[in-house]
Amino acid sequence: MRTRLSVNLNKIAVLRNSRGGALPSVLDAARTCLAAGCDGLTVHPRPDQRHIRPDDVTALAAAVDAELNIEGNPYAGPSSDGYPGFLAIVEQARPVQATLVPDGDAQLTSDHGFDLKRDGARLAPLVAGLRRAGVRVSLFMDAGSPDIERAAEIGAHRIEIYTGPYAHAFLSGDYARELELCAETARRAQAAGLAVNAGHDLDQRNLGPFLRVVPNVLEVSIGHALIGEALYDGLAPTVRNYLDVIAAAST
């Protein structure tokens, strides 16, 4: 089994939005990543529309023949400035996967997973609705969360392990505990019937060690580091570099 690479396009949109207009093109970036061999695309449309916007999601869903993963806060409703609400975006785009994330509207980036003891009852009908629409549902969860098995009980297909703490520990060189916590979380999820994705702050240095220890990760979603590295090496070569890292970790 080879772990699939989903490229997060948010940072392309950040650059475009900083100047206004249409460049750099999110669609062109998506096509470049797919031509280089990535397996899918991730977008995270937030209510403040500071990067990926609802019209970007619509355009990607219509123009790109690839697995689309839409991340976001399932509780985020419509706003007066044109954001239709997260579930409305997913309903229109009908992606292969929706990754539900407990982000606050003003949150800079995702930095924690769901507390399913608190949120499970509220999430369950939303998960059921996405499943009826034919969308695969993944829940963003902290490594070591006591609620992993609860994700299966409320109907999720997968969890996405939040890898920020592992990535931060990797920078210090003292990451064995965080890595084993991720591995244990994956094993618990799989024992409960859940598949496992992973993402946040993964890069070319820490991805290989992660995949060699954490079992049967089906998909990694990588954006910030990949786009940053692409500034120096080019977008297509950087995507291919990540695929090489994944391939090496699978042998």
The answer to whether residue 51 is catalytic is no
Q: How many CA atoms lie within 13 A of 19 on its CB side?
A: 9
Q: Is the dihedral of CA 119, 220, 59, 231 positive or negative?
A: positive
Angstrom distance (rounded) from CA 32 to CA 148: 36
Angstrom distance (rounded) from CA 90 to CA 77: 12
Which amino acid type is present at position 70? I
Structure tokens at 229: 């590295």
Burial class (CB in 10 A: 0-12, 13-18, 19+), 100: buried
Phi then psi for residue 16, to 5 deg, are -60, -45
Contact 77, 66 (CB under 8 A): no
Q: Annotated catalytic residue: which of 51, 67, 71, 160?
A: 71
Tokens 């609802």 sit at which residue?
Answer: 54
Distance, first Cα to last Cα, the chain: 10
Contact 45, 54 (CB under 8 A): yes
Task: Tell me: cis bond preceding 146? Omega within 30 of 0 counts.
Answer: no
The answer to whether residue 44 is catalytic is yes
Q: Annotated catalytic residue: which of 51, 200, 219, 229?
A: 200
Catalytic residues: 44, 71, 200
